[in-house]
Structure 1
Amino acid sequence: MELIELVKKHAPVTGEQLAEYLGVSRPTLRSDLSLLVMLGMLDAKPKVGYFLGNTFRASHEPLQRFNSMKVREVQGVPVNIPDSLSVHDAVITLFMENADTLLVVNEDKRFAGIVTPKDLLKITLGNAGAASIPVSMVMTRYPNIVTLAPDETVMDAIRKMSQHQVDCLPVLMPSADSSQNPVVAGWVSKSNLIALLSDIATARELGEPE
């Protein structure tokens, strides 16, 4: 990833300097840098700048591993709900499953959209009858959603999360019938990626094959 390579070469380096190297504005990089810090790829110190995170200080192994890994290798099992489920039951599912996002499927079990805590909060605030509304009325509908394919790389997932400022990306398998929505194959979340980085770093420290 170009940002990581720049930080490795120039660390410590400020966000302003990175933006200048890349020819973009500082706000454009803000979400990318925040995600990389969250994933442990970069560290940051106030008034000092960015430098490589613990995971990357010793070698390039994790970055090389990320470059070669496919989404299908790291995707998790999503929390799917039917589009007929009520907002009330969606809220309960969200907390029971400790999920950041719910994937919505239609009656054919195909991907229909996503519902986030923010979506549910918006509809319930000051709306006494919101609990009985179906999630199909509040979800973000496919295809207006950033998604992944199983053969995309983990770095593709990181870039999409960073560019679109999302915490979770559905992994979809296209349908042979173009009139049908795709099938949900899994999902990739920031939690997945953080756990993956931790596993890679631990394996390297112990001298074990990843």
Structure 2
Amino acid sequence: MSHIRKEGSTIQLSSRQMELIELVQKHSPITGEQLAEYLGVSRPTLRSDLSLLVMLGMLDAKPKVGYFLGKTYRQTHEPLQRYSSMKVKEVLGVPVNIPETLSVHDAVITLFMENADTLLVVNEEKRFAGIITPKDLLKITLGNAGAASIPVSMVMTRYPNIVTLLPDNTVIDAMRKMSQHQVDCLPVVVPSASPEQYPEVAGWVSKSNIIRLMADIATEGELGDTDL
């Protein structure tokens, strides 16, 4: 495991991720297939590592061209260090919550009205019970006219069979989980004092949240360079 240190904070990148950065530094632009060949692994094996490095700004990529060093690596490691200490609770967004008694028909309407990728389902105590996605709704309604009246509790993915974040997790933790599980957003929950109770919904973190955060930090860095 390799470390990037600055003022007491530490970002841990795996040896393979560091090796990928070194290969890109030497051979950019380089394709994912070429990187896999250098490392003696399959292209899918590298997908999670490459996604994380691109999200961190360490690498960048262009279709039909390949990977090259990203702005974070080329200019400064400061944005990366800020991610290491920044907590999920600082960047979480407001989710679209629906009751578990809501019908599939109304869930479809809510999905489109709110322009949401995922709906968080809460029980009668307003606690996190599960999630439902467009794919879930499509699967249950396709060729099944009677499914519209079914409550979403019948088709949702139930907690605890869901990848979640805690408010004190770091943004880096969120990026890693999104890359590992290939999802676009993650619920942020506050565990209940009683193991028999579902957790409370604190919010959610999406890739779009993180992209906006990265853009803001990059802009701050550019302004700082200008001031210098």
Interval containing the TM-score (normalised by the shorter chain) = 0.7 to 0.9
CA distance in 1, matches of 2:38, 2:91: 32
| Count of residues in correspondence between the two structures | 208
| Aligned equivalent of 1:30 | 47
Work out whether 1:202 is the aligned partner of 2:203: no
Match of 2:205, SS state, is strand
Pairing of 1:162-181 with structure 2 (within 5 A): 162-181=179-198
Change (3 A) 1:71 1:124: same
Deviations 1:23-78 (A, max 9, x none): 75421222443465467553224675322233443111221111111111111111
| Alignment TM-score, normalising by the size of structure 2 | 0.81
Deviations 1:87-112 (A, max 9, x none): 11111111111111100000111110
Question: Which AA in structure 1 matches 2:93?
Answer: G
Match of 2:68, SS state, is strand
Question: Which AA in structure 1 matches 2:22?
Answer: K
Work out whether 1:85 is the aligned partner of 2:98: no
Segments of 4+ moved more than 3 angstroms: 1-8, 16-25, 34-41, 45-49
| Aligned equivalent of 1:188 | 205
Task: State the shift of 1:14 in Å.
Answer: 4.1
Work out whether 1:133 is the aligned partner of 2:150: yes
Task: Choose between structure 1 and 2 for higher RCO, CA contacts under 8 A separated by at least 6 residues.
Answer: 1
Pairing of 1:45-60 with structure 2 (within 5 A): 45=62, 49-60=66-77
| Aligned equivalent of 1:15 | 32
Where structure 2 has 5 or more consecutive residues not aligned to the other structure, the ranges are: 1-12
Where structure 1 has 5 or more consecutive residues not aligned to the other structure, the ranges are: none
- RMSD, matched Cα: 2.4
| Alignment TM-score, normalising by the size of structure 1 | 0.88
Identity score, percent: 79
CA distance in 1, matches of 2:39, 2:88: 27
CA distance in 2, matches of 1:164, 1:186: 19
Contact 2:101 2:151 in 1 (8 A): yes
Task: Return the match for 2:113 from 84, 87, 96.
Answer: 96
Change (3 A) 1:184 1:53: same
| Aligned equivalent of 1:142 | 159
